[in-house]
Amino acid sequence: MASNWTEYGSELSNRVVINQRRGRIGLCLVICGFVFMMFGSYSIVSKPSLGEEREILEQRKRLRRLERLEMSMNDTDAADLFEEEKF
């Protein structure tokens, strides 16, 4: 089987056939490697459940709100607020 349309119908040497086979096998191995990397990354990096996602969003909102309060206050008021927030 010719790998190039210009060689169609001509005799192929054993060296050309072996190189073409190695090229196809190499391409298959590269494609399989990418597929396995994608599946592996999806299995390692888990998607948070609905409850965990809500908890993360609430924590981000709380931290954003705390940051805005700290930015609007002077240093002593912010320190007092931080101490209250810890407990």
Residue-wise pLDDT tens digits, 46-87: 888 899 999 999 999 999 988 887 777 665 665 666 666 555
Predicted local confidence at residue 24, as pLDDT: 93
User: What's the number of domains the chain is made of?
Assistant: 2
Q: Check whether residue 41 and residue 64 sit in a common domain.
A: no
What is the model's pLDDT at position 70? 75
Structural domain that includes position 17: 1-46
Please report the pLDDT score of residue 38 as a whole number.
92
Q: What pLDDT is attached to residue 69?
A: 78
Q: Which residues contact 66 (CB under 8 A, 6 or more apart)?
A: 81, 85
Using alpha carbons only, give the angle 24, 29, 32 rounded to the nearest 5 degrees.
125
Same domain, 60 and 70: yes
* Block residue for tokens 């073409």: 20
Above 60 in pLDDT, residue 2?
no
Residues 6 and 19 in one domain: yes
> What pLDDT does 71 receive?
77
6 and 20 part of one domain = yes
pLDDT tens profile 4-31: 656 666 777 888 888 889 999 999 999 9
Q: What is the pLDDT of residue 35?
A: 96
Same domain, yes or no: 7 and 41: yes
